């Protein structure tokens, strides 16, 4: 096939063209051919070579990003720098993408926001109640290092008796009549 695509990309393109030219092609064959080509194109070094060639002849990052249908910052993130710098950025991106972004659903108790909604108060009020020992709570740490504050309302079977005694300076006081805040 062409002169700038990697052999695996050319093969995926040929396969897609063959499936596209076959009126009776199976739906799963079409999906697989499309996805295979996309994966190969994404990994093909031809794009990086094209970007470097464009920069060498004086094209701007704005022009390159327009051609790639990306924002200039995204184009620079993908293709600027040495091969080692690009590989480092891609590895960091894959590492970030591998981390779960959603809170696990099987944690005991309630999240601070869930407890606040259930009690009809703000999250700040829940933290205050935790610090004063009015509700139980603990921080759950997962093996991957993430941690979540969990709240256990009265009667919760997962609640531990780990209420913290209120600190002496956490006891609410009444403003004196001589204070500027007194009304």
64 and 16 inside one domain: yes
26 and 91 inside one domain: yes
17 and 67 inside one domain: yes
CB 137 within 8 A of CB 130: yes
11 and 94 inside one domain: yes
Query: Which of 98, 133, 154 is the C-terminal boundary of a domain?
Result: 98
CB 107 within 8 A of CB 150: yes
69 and 152 inside one domain: no
Weakest-pLDDT range from 10-19, 84-93, 126-135:
84-93
- Domain contains 136: yes
87 and 115 inside one domain: no
Residue 79 neighbours by CB distance under 10 Å: 22
- Domain contains 2: no
- Domain contains 148: yes
77 and 23 inside one domain: yes
- Tens of pLDDT, residues 128-176: 999 998 889 999 888 878 888 999 987 666 655 444 444 444 444 444 4
- Domain contains 13: yes
Is the pLDDT at 181 greater than 90? The verdict is: no
72 and 117 inside one domain: no
The C-alpha atoms of residue 96 and residue 100 are separated, in whole angstroms, by 9
The C-alpha atoms of residue 170 and residue 173 are separated, in whole angstroms, by 9
Weakest-pLDDT range from 8-17, 38-47, 124-133:
38-47
3-state SS, the chain, equals: CCCCCCHHHHHHHHHHHHHHCCCCCCHHHHHHHHHHHHHHHHHCCHHHHHHHHHHHCCCCHHHHHHHHCCCHHHHHHHHCCCHHHHHHHHHHHHHHHHCCCCCCCCCCCEEHHHHHHHHCCCHHHHHHHHHCCCCEEEEEECCCCCEEEEEECCCCCCCCCCCCCCCHHHCCCCCCCCCCCCC
Query: Which of 98, 119, 145 is the C-terminal boundary of a domain?
Result: 98
Mean pLDDT of 29-54: 91
Is the pLDDT at 177 greater than 60? The verdict is: no
Domain that holds residue 66: 7-98
Mean pLDDT of 58-78: 94
166 and 115 inside one domain: yes
Which tokens sit at 65? 């990003």
Question: Containing H/E element for 92?
Answer: helix 83-98
* pLDDT confidence of residue 36: 93
Number of domains into which the chain is organized: 2
- Domain contains 22: yes
* pLDDT confidence of residue 164: 44
- Tens of pLDDT, residues 108-121: 889 899 999 999 99
pLDDT band for position 100 (cuts 50, 70, 90): low
25 and 85 inside one domain: yes
43 and 87 inside one domain: yes
Instruction: Please indicate whether residue 62 or residue 43 has the higher confidence score (pLDDT).
Output: 62
- Domain contains 103: no
């Amino acid at each position: 096939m062409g002169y700038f695509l990697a052999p695996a990309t050319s093969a995926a393109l040929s396969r897609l063209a063959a499936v596209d030219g076959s009126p009776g092609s199976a739906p799963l064959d079409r999906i697989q051919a499309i996805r295979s080509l996309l994966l190969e194109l994404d990994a093909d070094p031809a794009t990086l070579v094209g970007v470097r060639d464009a920069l060498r002849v004086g094209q701007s990052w704005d022009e390159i990003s327009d051609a790639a249908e990306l924002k200039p910052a995204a184009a620079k993130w993908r293709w600027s720098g040495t091969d080692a710098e690009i590989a480092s950025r891609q590895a960091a991106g894959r590492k970030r993408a591998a981390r779960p972004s959603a809170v696990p659903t099987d944690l005991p108790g309630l999240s601070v926001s869930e407890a606040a909604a259930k009690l009809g108060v703000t999250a700040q009020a829940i933290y205050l109640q935790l610090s004063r020992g009015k509700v139980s709570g603990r921080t759950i740490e997962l093996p991957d290092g993430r941690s979540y504050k969990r709240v256990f309302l009265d009667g919760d079977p997962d609640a531990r008796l780990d209420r913290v005694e209120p600190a002496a300076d956490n006891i609410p006081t009444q403003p004196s009549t001589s204070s500027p805040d007194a009304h």
